[in-house]
């Protein structure tokens, strides 16, 4: 980075030690460069001057031009305020200050034409503008160049007290921007990229993002800086991916003539869907490439990811390797264990379950057999990646329902063997493309976009507390037909006790409406011991109970094909992807399935929107996009732990096109010049070496 941009912020004209301290502590602005990247969050159009008579209750901010005709002081000493009467040729309005009355009255002069900018208040039927920004027209023209858009920066209360309000920050930024030269912020994007995307040069963009001369220039500056931001992230991810391919040799799974083959011919009870076959081909290609596979498998709930995972593990076993599958909860690990043992029966595949609750001798036995290579498939929770677990020859790792596993845990797996195993990550919920490219941008992506044949789409309806009796009636009809029902309650960690109370209250009222012995009810929640949870779950799986009352512990993976009704209580408290996940628990059998979203009568706009999306579509990819649009990427599950998303300008919900372009550009660059050795790429290499914290771009690598 250029010396100018690394200069500590206190050395900027107008800052000094005191405000420097504030900038550092309050706004995390340490250097000139940080201030330059402290972008405005919006702009106000100062080119438009309104009249006093334009004031109306909807006015947010307004700019007026006129004269001060007098002052009044109101209130006693302790609550003194000063009101200036401000006039233009259409009327008058009060400007109010609650502080510094003397200074205000001394400084502001009648007879000078002022520009006033502020947020009007309606008080006792009259408009006034508290603490307006005010400057003589002559100076204002000079400060803004007499032109258009002014930046608004976010700031803090403390900073405001030292004049570091939006305006104060704008002044400092202007000082900085005016002294910037091309050499301080040299263009680092290759010339052909700048040309083909018609990108604004870097210096111009950094100037215009703060002080746009007009809307067009602002848009161009924003586009350029978003591109730059996304491009740098993609370049980093793709470089990581390329490096891994070079550094880590991948195990070769050449043979599939034994267990894989036999499973396919003898054990598999159905024809794979076209999408499943395609994904298997992709995996097969990876495991023959000699490079380590890092693949993300996306598929909607019920699309049949498990059998793909199993076939993949059989490829490993046929070649003398062990495989493991990690699930986010014990319940899911159990379920995988049971269904996998069942489906591989007769093939001579040794499967073991290793979770936190496998203890003592049983655990020791499993650990020994894993180390000796006698166990082919280990199934477990994250207990599997804890250090004492040693495999003889781990060749394939499947991570089910990825978003519970952070990037750090993924990294641990890479260190599990001399050569890292192939990794297949399966997501519980489809992720929007833009997000996948960013969080999992270093992985290859496979998509199962087809459900097994014969599935009836789940019917989803919205019901409120008023309809409860009707809902109970419906439940009784379904149970009479032999179906089973889930009732799910939200559980939000912060108020666990309260949530548990809701759940128990709900359980009681359901118990009253569905009395024993005619009806049997299971209950599962987070406070129960794992063994008890499992016992209750098993009763439901075996159809000994007709209703399962649960918190979201059943959210992912659980498979009870006979359960055909999903009732979600307080549905407004769930996010879209969670609702979709839960709904995916039904619709797995041949029967018509239903999802009933229960809410109170009053719903906020966002909740309404979510519920209506759920009632309209069953498509997980559509729902994921909608989720991103409604919540923004910051809130989406998986992004918080990911640490990769820290975007200043770009918005993954809105900037999909720019992201696509940035990724393509980065990919092309990595393909053509992975070491960035060509002359045209030197500025980029230099920039990366100066700015990236890791060693990816160091000269040695
Ligand atoms: P998910 O992708 O949500 O993990 P699963 O792997 O649990 O889905 O599959 C859901 C159900 O569909 C399972 O009962 C599985 O046996 C069944 N299934 C998977 N693939 C097919 C197929 N090609 N044809 C018919 N049923 C299938
Ligand atoms: Mg699954």
pLDDT score at 392:
92
Q: Is the pLDDT of residue 123 over 90?
A: no
Q: Is the pLDDT of residue 109 over 90?
A: no
Determine phi and psi for 553, rounding to 5 degrees. Answer: -60, -20
Probe target for ligand 1 pocket from 267, 278, 297, 306, with the most ligand atoms within 8 Å of CB:
306
pLDDT score at 417:
57
Determine the distance separating the centroid of ligand 1 and the alpha carbon of 425, expressed in angstroms. Answer: 17
Token match 């372009």: residue?
A: 661
Q: What is the DSSP string of 367-397?
A: HHHHHHT--SEEEESGGGGSTT---SSEEEE
Across 228-233, average pLDDT: 94
Q: Is the pLDDT of residue 434 over 80?
A: yes
Across 534-543, average pLDDT: 89
Model pTM above 0.85: no
Q: Which residue puts its alpha carbon closest to atom 12 of ligand 1?
A: 304
The radius of gyration of the chain's CA atoms, rounded to the nearest angstrom, is: 31
More confident residue, 695 or 212: 212
Check: CB of residue 478 under 8 Å from CB of residue 578.
no
Across 38-66, average pLDDT: 86
Probe target for ligand 1 pocket from 271, 272, 301, 304, with the most ligand atoms within 8 Å of CB:
304
ω into 281 cis (within 30 of 0): no
CA distances from 106 to 23, 65, 138, 488, 533 (A): 30, 20, 19, 67, 75
Residue 306 near ligand 1, beta carbon < 6 Å? yes
CA distance 378 to 337: 9
Q: Is the pLDDT of residue 638 over 80?
A: no
Going by pLDDT thresholds of 50, 70 and 90, the confidence category of residue 546 is very high
Residue 585 near ligand 1, beta carbon < 6 Å? no
Closest ligand 1 atom to the C-alpha of 276?
23
* For the CA of 557, the nearest ligand: 2
Q: What angle do CA 47, 166, 644 make, to 5 degrees?
A: 110
More confident residue, 137 or 520: 520
pLDDT score at 406:
56
More confident residue, 248 or 454: 454
Token match 């498979």: residue?
A: 559
Closest ligand 1 atom to the C-alpha of 306?
6
Least trusted range by pLDDT, from 271-275, 603-607, 632-636: 632-636
Going by pLDDT thresholds of 50, 70 and 90, the confidence category of residue 695 is low
What b/e string do you get for 344-382 counting C-beta neighbours within 10 Å, with b at 16 or more? beebebbbbbbbebbeeeebeebbebbeeeebbbbbbbb
Q: Is the pLDDT of residue 432 over 90?
A: no
Q: Is the pLDDT of residue 67 over 50?
A: yes
Residue 402 near ligand 1, beta carbon < 6 Å? no
Determine the distance separating the centroid of ligand 2 and the alpha carbon of 331, expressed in angstroms. Answer: 12
Reading the block at residue 688, the tokens are 């990366």
Cα dihedral across residues 228, 233, 235, 236: positive or negative: positive
Residue 270 near ligand 1, beta carbon < 6 Å? yes
* For the CA of 308, the nearest ligand: 1
Determine the distance separating the centroid of ligand 2 and the alpha carbon of 367, expressed in angstroms. Answer: 26
Residue 273 near ligand 1, beta carbon < 6 Å? yes
Q: Which residue puts its alpha carbon closest to atom 1 of ligand 1?
A: 302
Q: Is the pLDDT of residue 146 over 60?
A: no
- How many H-runs (helices) and E-runs (strands) does the chain carry? 26, 22
Dihedral (C-alpha) 562, 565, 569, 574: value to the nearest 10 degrees?
A: 80
Closest ligand 1 atom to the C-alpha of 400?
4
Across 84-98, average pLDDT: 93
Determine the distance separating the centroid of ligand 2 and the alpha carbon of 15, expressed in angstroms. Answer: 57
Going by pLDDT thresholds of 50, 70 and 90, the confidence category of residue 578 is confident
Across 561-575, average pLDDT: 92
More confident residue, 365 or 407: 365
Residue 301 near ligand 1, beta carbon < 6 Å? yes
Q: In this predicted model, what pLDDT tens digit does every residue of 92-103 receive, in sequence order? A: 999 998 877 778
Cα dihedral across residues 372, 375, 376, 378: positive or negative: negative
Across 365-394, average pLDDT: 89
Q: Which residue puts its alpha carbon closest to atom 5 of ligand 1?
A: 304
Residues, the chain? 701
E strand or H helix at 324: strand 322-326
pLDDT score at 644:
46
- Share the mean pLDDT of the chain: 87
Across 36-56, average pLDDT: 88
pLDDT score at 693:
66
Residue 588 near ligand 1, beta carbon < 6 Å? yes
CA distance 72 to 393: 85
Q: Is the pLDDT of residue 410 over 70?
A: no
* For the CA of 307, the nearest ligand: 1
pLDDT score at 637:
45
* For the CA of 302, the nearest ligand: 1
Residue 70 forms beta bridges with which residues?
85
pLDDT score at 403:
57
Nearest Cα neighbor of 129 from 154, 161, 92, 158 is 92
Residue 446 near ligand 1, beta carbon < 6 Å? no
Residue 304 near ligand 1, beta carbon < 6 Å? yes
pLDDT score at 487:
95
pLDDT score at 140:
61
Check: CB of residue 260 under 8 Å from CB of residue 311.
yes
Residue 587 near ligand 1, beta carbon < 6 Å? no
More confident residue, 75 or 216: 216
- Give burial (CB, 10 Å; 0-12/13-18/19+) of 542: exposed
Residue 696 near ligand 1, beta carbon < 6 Å? no
pLDDT score at 634:
54
Residue 607 near ligand 1, beta carbon < 6 Å? no
pLDDT score at 636:
47
The dihedral region occupied by 71, where left means phi > 0, alpha psi between -120 and 50, and beta the remainder, is beta
Q: What is the DSSP string of 574-636?
A: S-HHHHHHHHTTSS-SSS--EEEEEE-S---HHHHHHHHHHHH---HHHHHHHHHHHH-GGGS
pLDDT score at 553:
58
pLDDT score at 483:
96
Determine the distance separating the centroid of ligand 2 and the alpha carbon of 308, expressed in angstroms. Answer: 10
CA distance 621 to 526: 29
* For the CA of 305, the nearest ligand: 1
Going by pLDDT thresholds of 50, 70 and 90, the confidence category of residue 456 is confident
Determine the distance separating the centroid of ligand 2 and the alpha carbon of 544, expressed in angstroms. Answer: 24
Determine the distance separating the centroid of ligand 2 and the alpha carbon of 248, expressed in angstroms. Answer: 29
Probe target for ligand 1 pocket from 452, 577, 587, with the most ligand atoms within 8 Å of CB:
452
Q: Is the pLDDT of residue 402 over 80?
A: no
Helix (H, G, I), strand (E, B) or coil at 274: helix
Determine the distance separating the centroid of ligand 2 and the alpha carbon of 232, expressed in angstroms. Answer: 34
More confident residue, 61 or 480: 480
Check: CB of residue 673 under 8 Å from CB of residue 681.
yes
CA distances from 188 to 26, 161, 184, 687 (A): 31, 38, 11, 7
pLDDT score at 627:
86
Across 348-356, average pLDDT: 93
Closest ligand 1 atom to the C-alpha of 448?
2
pLDDT score at 641:
39
Q: Is the pLDDT of residue 122 over 60?
A: yes
* For the CA of 297, the nearest ligand: 1
pLDDT score at 320:
96
How many percent of the chain have pLDDT more than 90?
A: 52
Q: Which residue puts its alpha carbon closest to atom 27 of ligand 1?
A: 452
């Amino acid at each position: 980075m250029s010396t100018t941009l690394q200069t500590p912020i206190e050395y900027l004209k107008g800052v000094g030690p005191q405000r420097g301290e504030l900038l550092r502590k309050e706004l995390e602005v340490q250097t000139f460069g940080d201030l330059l990247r402290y972008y405005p969050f919006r702009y106000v159009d100062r080119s438009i001057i309104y009249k006093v008579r334009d004031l109306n209750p909807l006015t947010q901010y307004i700019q007026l031009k006129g004269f001060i005709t007098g002052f009044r002081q109101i209130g006693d000493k302790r609550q003194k305020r000063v009101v200036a009467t401000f006039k233009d040729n259409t009327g008058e309005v009060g400007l109010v200050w609650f502080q510094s009355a003397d200074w205000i009255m001394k400084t502001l002069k009648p007879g000078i034409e002022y520009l006033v900018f502020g947020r009007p208040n309606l008080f006792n039927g009259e408009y006034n503008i508290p603490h307006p920004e005010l400057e003589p027209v002559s100076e204002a023209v000079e400060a803004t160049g007499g032109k258009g858009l002014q930046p608004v920066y976010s700031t803090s209360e403390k900073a405001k007290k030292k004049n570091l309000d939006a305006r104060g920050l704008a002044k400092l930024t202007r000082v900085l921007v005016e002294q910037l030269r091309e050499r301080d912020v040299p263009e680092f994007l290759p010339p052909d990229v700048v040309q083909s995307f018609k990108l604004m040069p870097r210096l111009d963009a950094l100037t215009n993002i703060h002080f746009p001369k007009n809307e067009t220039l602002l848009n161009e500056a924003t586009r350029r800086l978003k591109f730059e931001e996304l491009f740098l992230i993609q370049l980093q991810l793709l470089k990581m991916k390329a490096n891994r391919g070079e550094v880590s040799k991948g195990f070769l799974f050449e043979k599939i003539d034994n267990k894989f083959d036999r499973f396919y011919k003898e054990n598999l009870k159905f024809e794979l869907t076209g999408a499943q076959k395609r994904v298997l081909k992709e995996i097969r290609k990876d495991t023959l490439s000699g490079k380590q596979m890092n693949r993300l498998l996306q598929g909607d709930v019920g699309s049949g990811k498990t059998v793909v995972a199993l076939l993949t593990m059989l490829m490993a076993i046929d070649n003398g390797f062990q495989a493991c599958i990690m699930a986010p909860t014990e319940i899911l690990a159990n379920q995988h264990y049971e269904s996998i043992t069942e489906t591989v029966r007769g093939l001579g595949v040794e499967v073991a379950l290793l979770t936190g609750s496998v203890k003592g001798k049983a655990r020791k036995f499993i650990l020994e057999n894993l180390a000796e290579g006698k166990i082919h498939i280990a199934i477990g929770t994250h207990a599997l990646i804890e250090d004492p677990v040693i495999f003889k020859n781990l060749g394939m790792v499947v991570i089910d329902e990825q978003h519970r596993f952070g990037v750090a845990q993924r990294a641990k797996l890479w260190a599990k063997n001399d050569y890292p195993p192939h990794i297949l990550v399966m997501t519980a919920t489809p992720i929007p493309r833009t997000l996948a490219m960013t969080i999992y941008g270093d992985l290859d992506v496979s998509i199962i976009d087809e459900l097994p044949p014969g599935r009836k789409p789940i019917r989803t309806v919205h019901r409120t507390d008023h309809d409860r009796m009707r809902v109970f009636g419906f439940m009784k009809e379904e149970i009479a037909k032999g179906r089973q029902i889930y009732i799910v309650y939200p559980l939000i960690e912060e108020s666990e006790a309260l949530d548990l109370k809701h759940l128990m209250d709900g359980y009681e009222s359901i118990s009253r409406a569905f009395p024993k012995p005619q009806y049997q009810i299971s209950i599962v929640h987070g406070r129960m011991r794992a063994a008890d949870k499992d016992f209750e779950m098993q009763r439901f799986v075996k159809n000994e109970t007709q209703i399962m009352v649960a918190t979201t512990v059943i959210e992912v993976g659980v498979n009870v094909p006979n359960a055909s009704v999903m009732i979600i209580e307080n549905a407004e408290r769930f996010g879209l992807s969670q609702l979709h996940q839960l709904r995916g628990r039904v619709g797995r059998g041949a029967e018509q399935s239903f999802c009933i979203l229960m809410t109170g009568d009053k719903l906020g706009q966002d909740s309404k929107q979510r519920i209506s999306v759920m009632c309209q579509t069953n498509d997980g990819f559509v729902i994921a996009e909608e989720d991103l649009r409604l919540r923004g990427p910051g809130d989406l599950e998986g992004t918080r732990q990911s640490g990769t998303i820290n975007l200043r300008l770009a918005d993954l919900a809105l900037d999909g096109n720019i992201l696509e372009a940035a990724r393509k550009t980065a990919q092309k660059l990595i393909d053509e010049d992975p070491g960035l050795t060509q002359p045209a790429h030197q500025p980029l290499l230099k920039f990366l070496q100066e700015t990236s914290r890791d060693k990816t771009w160091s000269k040695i690598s």
